[in-house]
């Protein structure tokens, strides 16, 4: 089994229920997290061994992006915003 443990402010089961839900951003404070295969079931060789990893603070959307979201992003000219696409941005 591959597990990544995060302290989300809402249950994982609520992250994706319907694409027409309002988009919310869920914060995680980061820190040392255990990632990787725990050795109790099948896993690919690149998924182990289980180990600690430093995860920087991040935000994740409460649902996947929809086609509507993506079209709004493109129509707002964000494809042309190099701050969103370059590794230095």
Which residues are bridge partners to 52 per DSSP? 34
> Which tokens sit at 7?
């302290």
**The pLDDT of residue 2:** 46
The pTM for the full model equals: 0.55
Q: Which residue has the higher pLDDT, 87 or 53?
A: 53
**The pLDDT of residue 80:** 83
Give the gyration radius of the chain's Cα atoms. 17
Element (H, E) at 67: helix 67-75
**The pLDDT of residue 79:** 79
**Residue 28: φ, ψ to 5°:** -130, 135
The DSSP call for residue 71 is: H
Q: Which residue has the higher pLDDT, 66 or 16?
A: 66
Q: What is the mean pLDDT of residues 79-83?
A: 81
């Amino acid at each position: 089994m591959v597990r990544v443990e995060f302290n989300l402010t809402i249950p994982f089961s609520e992250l994706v229920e319907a694409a027409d839900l309002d988009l919310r951003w869920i914060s995680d404070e980061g820190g040392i997290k255990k990632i990787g295969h725990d050795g109790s079931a099948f896993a690919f060789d690149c998924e182990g061994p289980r180990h600690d990893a430093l995860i920087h603070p991040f935000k994740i959307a409460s649902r996947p992006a929809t086609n509507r979201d993506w079209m709004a992003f493109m129509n707002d000219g964000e494809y042309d915003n190099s701050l969103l696409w370059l590794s230095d941005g």
